[in-house]
């Protein structure tokens, strides 16, 4: 992690298995500010790697053609990114890979109603009422979603703007957020965050336009 901070690499090839443990902990800690290509002999990490916004996932043994294709994806992403954002995360995702039995299925982000983070677990609730469990931390998942469409109302909840049905006054200036498909108590927004929420609901941003 110190090396990443000091050297500022433009691209990282990350082997899952390291002498001192798994490199996936680095991905979970959001230590990277550049494209990451995973290299491993284990296919079972592909779902997590996708949800952590890695550019590609290469299974060993890696052929020259596969390596060339992965580097091509990095070049394409770099060319499409503004210079000021080339060390930031890739473009906001359009879907999540979610577990469904023995399969991994793409879930369009437009179908997400809200996301709940509980300690090391993240639960994606869809507009139709389905719930999917992911190992991606809530903060990292939030960073990969468009801030115009998704907003973190408190420590546990990230909500889709189209799934917000209304707000109800609560104690001490808080607001209870009524969400599509939510069967639990309405999550609360603190008084000092209410104005940002209102601006986001109206303008698609957490601040008022000039």
Check whether residue 70 and residue 101 sit in a common domain: no
Q: Is the pTM of this model over 0.75?
A: no
pLDDT at 124 over 80: yes
Q: What is the mean pLDDT of the chain?
A: 82
Whether residue 209 is contained in a domain is answered as no
CB atoms within 10 A of CB 150: 21
Reported as a pLDDT band with limits 50, 70 and 90, residue 37 is confident
- 195 and 173 in contact (C-beta within 8 Å)? no
Which two structure tokens, joined as six digits, stand for 187? Answer: 């999550």
Same domain, 100 and 80: no
**Residue 22 pLDDT grade (very low, low, confident, very high; cuts 50, 70, 90):** low
**Is the predicted pLDDT of residue 61 greater than 60, yes or no?**
yes
The whole domain housing 143 covers: 95-203
Domain closes at, from 15, 50, 85: 85
- Report yes or no on 17 lying in a domain: yes
Q: Does residue 46 lie within any of the structural domains?
A: yes
Handedness of CA 105, 108, 29, 193 (dihedral sign): negative
Q: The domain that contains 65 carries what CATH number? A: 3.40.50.2300
Sign of CA dihedral 164, 167, 168, 173: positive
Model pLDDT, residue 122: 95
- The mean pLDDT value for 154-163 works out to 95
Same domain (yes/no): 108, 198: yes
- Note whether 66 and 157 are same-domain residues: no
Residue 210 belongs to some domain of the structure: no
Contact (CB, 8 A) for 104 and 98? yes
User: What total number of domains does the chain contain?
Assistant: 2
Q: In terms of domains, do 165 and 81 share one?
A: no
Residue 113 lies in a domain: yes
78 and 115 both lie in a single domain: no
Higher pLDDT, 167 or 29: 167
Asked whether residue 21 falls in the same domain as residue 115, the answer is no
Q: Mean pLDDT highest for which of 8-17, 77-86, 143-152?
A: 143-152
Tell me the two tokens of residue 92.
Answer: 């906001």
Q: Do 18 and 80 belong to one domain?
A: yes
CATH of the domain at 124: 2.40.50.1020
């Amino acid at each position: 992690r110190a090396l990443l901070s000091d050297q500022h690499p433009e691209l990282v090839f990350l082997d899952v298995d390291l002498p001192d443990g798994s490199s996936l902990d680095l991905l979970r800690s959001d230590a990277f500010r550049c494209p990451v290509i995973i290299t491993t002999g284990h296919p079972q990490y592909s779902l997590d790697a996708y949800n952590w916004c890695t550019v590609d996932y290469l299974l060993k043994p890696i052929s020259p053609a596969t390596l060339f294709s992965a580097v091509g994806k990095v070049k394409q992403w770099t060319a499409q990114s503004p210079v000021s954002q080339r060390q930031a995360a890739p473009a906001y995702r359009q879907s999540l890979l979610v577990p469904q039995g023995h399969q991994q299925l793409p879930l369009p982000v437009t179908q997400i109603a809200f996301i709940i983070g509980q300690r090391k677990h993240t639960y994606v609730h869809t507009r139709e009422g389905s719930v999917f469990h992911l190992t991606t931390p809530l903060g990292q998942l939030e960073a990969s979603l468009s801030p115009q469409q998704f907003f973190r109302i408190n420590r546990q909840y990230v909500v889709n703007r189209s799934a917000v049905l209304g707000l109800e006054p609560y104690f001490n200036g808080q607001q209870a957020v009524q969400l599509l498909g939510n069967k639990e108590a309405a999550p609360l927004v603190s008084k000092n965050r209410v104005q940002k929420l209102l601006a986001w609901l109206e303008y698609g941003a957490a601040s008022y336009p000039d």
